[in-house]
């Protein structure tokens, strides 16, 4: 445990609980430790001042970090996690965890019964029990939780789905970053920044004539797929602030007053667009949503527009083959892809070298360590208020819907 057990004498009711941290994001632990120290100092001051009200509302916590490089290594898209290599000490900490902070792809593997992890040591006393047997609440460090639903069928076949604990997404912080990415990419594409840079490398002045031909944001329409979530709303507001016409594709024709048009008709939403940006999660309803036929139908009725697709949601919205065919048939003029059907993108993929495709490695919005404590503390306080119900927690995942 990262803090001395003797410090518990400073704490008043409610007794602080342990947050177990298991993550590949190295910056989270230092940020939480700093917050932990601040909370402890504040608690001590309140005790000194005999401030009973604030002591009762304390958000003080203990922090238990699991560091197991033999089982978990890498970062970002290079993370490798092998549960069979977890040390017995790591297993013990996981089995004792009531509150766990981790990443969806790690949690998905931890959920698998130990007998499906063939290299678990049969002699280990902890291997015969579920790794997460005490877990009541898991806070994800990512907004998306689709890796969990990859293992759903396996768990369903063993009658271990849905999990017994509450899972909450890391949300409410990614909107500005994704809005910046989206508008930055639109501006860079319209102003042909890449062509200007190539001219510079060749020591040529305005050799690329397309840099003299561009549209203003106020002349274009942005269609946002998934416009009514936190991220979608932020993109809509930012695009409107820059003068764009904004069309919102939603599950219902909800009128929120931000966008110029709200529609649940995908064809209507697509045929308006100069740019299409998707922030949709991965669910049974959204996988393959942008089929070639759907894009073709929209393109035939949009007055000759060949929109640019920006995908910052989930890669299974559209297949690689569909992207390539839509580009070849000029139903799309370009694709800017931060998420892909398979990540990392295979080296032989034709997307790498297509002149009208821009690829970034899932970085439109990253979980930064310094952003984590604020949400964790807010959620932790809610958890302490009603540990039996837990409905006061924000961003709870619906195990049936998948988001």
Q: How do residues 318-327 score in pLDDT, each as one tens digit?
A: 999 999 999 9
The residues with which 358 forms a beta bridge, in sequence order, are 336
The domain covering 175-359 belongs, at the CATH homologous superfamily level, to NAD(P)-binding Rossmann-like Domain (3.40.50.720)
> How many whole angstroms separate alpha carbon 99 and alpha carbon 147?
20
> How many whole angstroms separate alpha carbon 151 and alpha carbon 242?
42
> How many whole angstroms separate alpha carbon 398 and alpha carbon 403?
6
Average pLDDT rounded to a whole number, residues 18-25: 96
Neighbour tally for 57: CB within 10 Å: 13
**How high is the pLDDT of residue 149?**
87
CATH architecture of 5-170+367-385: 3-Layer(aba) Sandwich (3.40)
Confidence of residue 130 (pLDDT cuts 50, 70, 90): confident
Q: What share of the chain is helix, strand, coil (3-state, %, to 5)?
A: 40, 15, 45
Q: Express each pLDDT in 224-237 by its tens digit.
A: 999 998 999 999 99
**How high is the pLDDT of residue 12?**
44
Confidence of residue 58 (pLDDT cuts 50, 70, 90): low
**Residue 382 in this model has a pLDDT that exceeds 80:** yes
**How high is the pLDDT of residue 53?**
52
Domain spans of the chain, in order of start: 5-170+367-385, 175-359
Q: Could you tell me the sign of the dihedral formed by the alpha carbons of 110, 116, 122, 127, in that order?
A: positive
**How high is the pLDDT of residue 401?**
84
Q: Express each pLDDT in 68-113 by its tens digit.
A: 999 999 877 778 999 999 999 999 999 999 999 999 999 999 998 7
Please say whether the beta carbons of 245 and 365 come within 8 A: no
Cα–Cα distance list, 130 to 1, 118, 207 (Å): 22, 14, 64
* % of the chain residues with pLDDT over 70: 89
Give pTM, 2 decimals. Answer: 0.84
* Angle at 96 (CA atoms; ends 92, 101), nearest 5 degrees: 100
Query: What is the side-by-side order of every strand in the sheet holding 99-102?
Result: 62-65, 18-22, 99-102, 137-140, 166-168
Cα–Cα distance list, 231 to 137, 172, 226 (Å): 24, 8, 8
- Fold agreement between 5-170+367-385 and 175-359: yes
**How high is the pLDDT of residue 54?**
52
Q: Residue 387 has which token pair? A: 């540990």
**Residue 282 in this model has a pLDDT that exceeds 50:** yes
**How high is the pLDDT of residue 50?**
66
Average pLDDT rounded to a whole number, residues 166-184: 96
What does the longest C-alpha to C-alpha distance in the chain come to?
Answer: 73
């Amino acid at each position: 445990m990262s803090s001395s057990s003797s410090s518990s004498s400073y704490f008043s009711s409610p007794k602080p609980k342990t947050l177990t941290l298991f993550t590949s994001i190295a910056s989270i632990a230092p940020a939480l430790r700093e917050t932990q120290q601040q909370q402890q100092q504040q608690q001590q001051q309140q005790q000194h001042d005999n401030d009973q009200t604030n002591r009762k509302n304390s958000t003080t916590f203990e922090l238990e970090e699991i560091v197991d490089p033999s089982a978990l290594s890498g970062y970002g898209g290079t993370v490798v996690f092998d549960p069979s290599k977890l040390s017995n000490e790591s297993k013990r900490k996981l089995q004792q965890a009531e509150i766990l902070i981790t990443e969806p792809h790690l949690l998905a593997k931890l959920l698998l019964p130990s007998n499906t992890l063939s290299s678990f040591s049969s002699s280990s006393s902890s291997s015969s029990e579920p790794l997460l047997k005490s877990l009541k609440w898991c806070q994800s460090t990512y907004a998306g939780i689709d890796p969990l639903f990859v293992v759903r069928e396996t768990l369903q076949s063993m009658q271990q789905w849905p999990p017994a604990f509450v899972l909450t997404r890391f949300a409410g912080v990614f909107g500005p970053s994704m809005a910046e990415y989206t508008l930055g990419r639109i501006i860079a594409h319209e102003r042909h920044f890449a062509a200007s840079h190539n001219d510079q490398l060749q020591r040529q002045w305005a050799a690329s004539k397309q840099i003299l031909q561009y549209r203003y944001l106020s002349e274009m329409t942005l269609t946002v797929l998934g416009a009514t979530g936190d991220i979608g709303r932020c993109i809509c507001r930012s695009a409107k602030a820059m003068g764009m016409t904004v069309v919102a594709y939603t599950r219902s024709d909800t009128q929120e007053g931000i966008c110029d048009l709200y529609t649940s008709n995908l064809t209507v939403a697509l045929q308006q667009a100069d740019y299409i940006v998707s922030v949709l999660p991965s669910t049974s309803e959204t996988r393959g949503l942008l089929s070639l036929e759907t894009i073709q139908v929209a393109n035939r009725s949009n007055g000759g527009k060949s929109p640019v697709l920006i995908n910052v949601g989930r890669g299974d919205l559209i297949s690689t083959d569909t992207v390539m065919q839509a580009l070849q048939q000029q139903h799309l003029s370009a694709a800017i892809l931060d998420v892909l059907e398979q990540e990392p993108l295979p080296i032989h993929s034709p997307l790498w070298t297509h002149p009208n495709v821009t690829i970034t490695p899932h970085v439109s919005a990253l979980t930064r360590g310094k952003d984590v404590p604020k949400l964790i503390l807010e959620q932790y306080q809610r958890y302490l208020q009603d540990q039996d119900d837990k409905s006061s927690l924000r961003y709870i995942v619906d195990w049936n819907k998948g988001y």
